[in-house]
Amino acid sequence: MTFARLRERGERALMPYFTAGDPSLAETRRLVMAAERAGADVVELGVPFSDPIADGPVVQRAGTRALAAGASLPRVLELVAGLRADGLKLPIALMTYYNPVLAFGLKSFTRTALDAGADGVIVPDLPYEEADPLREEAEPAGLDLVQFVAPTSTPARVKVIARLSRGFIYVVSVLGITGERRQLPPELDAQIRTLRLVTTKPVCVGFGVSTPEQVAAVGKLADGVIVGSAIVRLIERHTGDPALIDEVAKFIAALKAPLRIQT
Which residue in 22, 27, 44, 223 is the catalytic one? Answer: 44
**137 counts as catalytic:** no
**185 vs 113, residue with greater confidence:** 113
Averaged pLDDT, 199-209:
94
Averaged pLDDT, 113-133:
97
Q: Where are the domains of the chain?
A: 2-6+13-143+210-254
pLDDT at 179 (0 to 100): 46
At the second CATH level, the architecture of 2-6+13-143+210-254 is Alpha-Beta Barrel (3.20)
SS3 123: coil
* H or E stretch covering 145: strand 144-149
**72 vs 261, residue with greater confidence:** 72
Which residue in 55, 137, 144, 223 is the catalytic one? Answer: 55
Whole-structure pTM value: 0.93
CB within 8 Å of 46: residues ≥ 6 apart? 17, 18, 19, 20, 59, 62, 63, 94, 95, 96, 228
pLDDT at 104 (0 to 100): 98
pLDDT at 178 (0 to 100): 52
pLDDT at 175 (0 to 100): 55
**44 counts as catalytic:** yes
pLDDT at 176 (0 to 100): 47
Q: Name which of 32-46, 78-92, 116-130, 171-185 the model is least confident about.
A: 171-185
pLDDT at 263 (0 to 100): 46
Using pLDDT thresholds of 50, 70 and 90, give the confidence band for residue 165.
very high
Q: Say yes or no to pLDDT of 181 above 60.
A: no
Mean pLDDT of the chain: 93
pLDDT at 55 (0 to 100): 82
